Structure 1
Amino acid sequence: MKGSLVSIAIAEPYAQALMSVALSYNLTDAFGKECRSLLALLEKSPDLEEFIASPVIKETDKKTVLRQMMGEEANLYLLNFVMLLVDKRRIIFLEQICQQYLKLLRKLTNTVLAEVTSAKELNNEQSESVANKIGELTGAKGVEIKTKIDPDLIGGITIKVGSQVFDASLRGQLRRVSLSLGGIA
């Protein structure tokens, strides 16, 4: 059900409610940071995702683990929101809710999400340069970069912002040359 239209339809009202609370208490960035942390944890730990989604595990156990996972410094409003998700049996949508919240936050702050794929990891200077270029191309005030490594690119990068793709990879250049010469890539 991950990423399905049904899960997004369920997650969206929760994300909007979370944004409403964040706006009321001027916590939009703090919630965004914590949502990114939760998403990173869920991405790195399929076991945690299974634990949260399991209908066999008691809600009290889920709450205990989530409290420990979020830590002492977790915002009380966000922690209560997560506990409410457990109570309402909507905790399985935590990942989608966090993604939808971040989408709302990017819209609010005029920030674009750029998926950058490179042959090897970018250093800070390269990441900053890419972010600046994306900002110029899109006119956005901020750029959030999500990076992936793909050794098949050989060199260079591809950048996806929304539905636009900028291919500055060596593989892409070779494909274009091949097509211009009448070959099939």
Structure 2
Amino acid sequence: MSIIAGEIVEPYAAALMSLAESKELTERFAEDVRGLINIMTESPELKKFLGNPVIKPEDKKAVVRRMVGEEVDPLMRNFLMLLIDRGRIIFLEQIGKQYLALLRKFNNTVLAEVTSTIELNEDQQNTVRERVKSMTGAAGVELETKIDPSLLGGVIIKIGSQIIDSSLQGQLRRIGISLKAV
């Protein structure tokens, strides 16, 4: 994230978090934010439309209202309209991700990015959660999973800047390095 984006994103995410806390809507807003991030990720056309400075704010608002309908909390809808009015709607994804980071901090939860060769079942996800909890001392663990068939087997867990590579590919790489050292 650029410095300018950070200067824009952080205050809006903090304001959203403050509003969510005051109205006891932190989890509801998180649900809304995850949905909005998914929509933005899946629709480059929408992202382009919202970021286009030539398109009138009223037109952007009409599209956003249709897009979110009654699915999001009215306060979240108002927040989206504010972002459009201030020409900041293009930062919605980044603001949403920053909000989720603030919420994790608020809930003493960590985000673990898990990459595996196949989809993890519920038991495997719980095992990863417990391992991450014991490593970090966090009260909760939020998993973000990715599939990468090139790993050959095992998983890679990333928590902040810490990476735990228990993939078969990682193990083979470590064996290769240790053999070269001999």
Shorter-chain TM band: over 0.9
Q: Which residue of 1 aligns with 2:100?
A: 102
Counterparts of 2:168 and 2:147, CA distance in 1:
14
Q: Which residue of 2 aligns with 1:166?
A: 164
- Number of aligned residue pairs: 181
Q: CA deviation at 1:62?
A: 1.0
TM-score by length of 1: 0.94
1:1-80 equivalences under 5 Å are: 3-80=1-78
Counterparts of 1:179 and 1:43, CA distance in 2:
38
**After TM superposition, what 4+ stretches of structure 1 lie above 2 angstroms from structure 2?**
none
Percent of paired sites with the same residue: 54
Counterparts of 1:97 and 1:62, CA distance in 2:
18
Gaps of 5+ in 2: none
Q: CA deviation at 1:125?
A: 2.0
Q: CA deviation at 1:60?
A: 1.4
Counterparts of 2:123 and 2:47, CA distance in 1:
34
TM-score by length of 2: 0.95
Counterparts of 1:10 and 1:81, CA distance in 2:
14
Q: CA deviation at 1:147?
A: 1.1
Secondary structure in 1 matching 2:24:
coil
Gaps of 5+ in 1: none
Q: What does the per-residue CA deviation read over 1:141-177, in whole Å, with 9 as the maximum and x for residues that have no partner?
A: 1111111111111111000001110000000000011
Q: Which residue of 2 aligns with 1:81?
A: 79
Q: What does the per-residue CA deviation read over 1:125-145, in whole Å, with 9 as the maximum and x for residues that have no partner?
A: 211221121111111111111
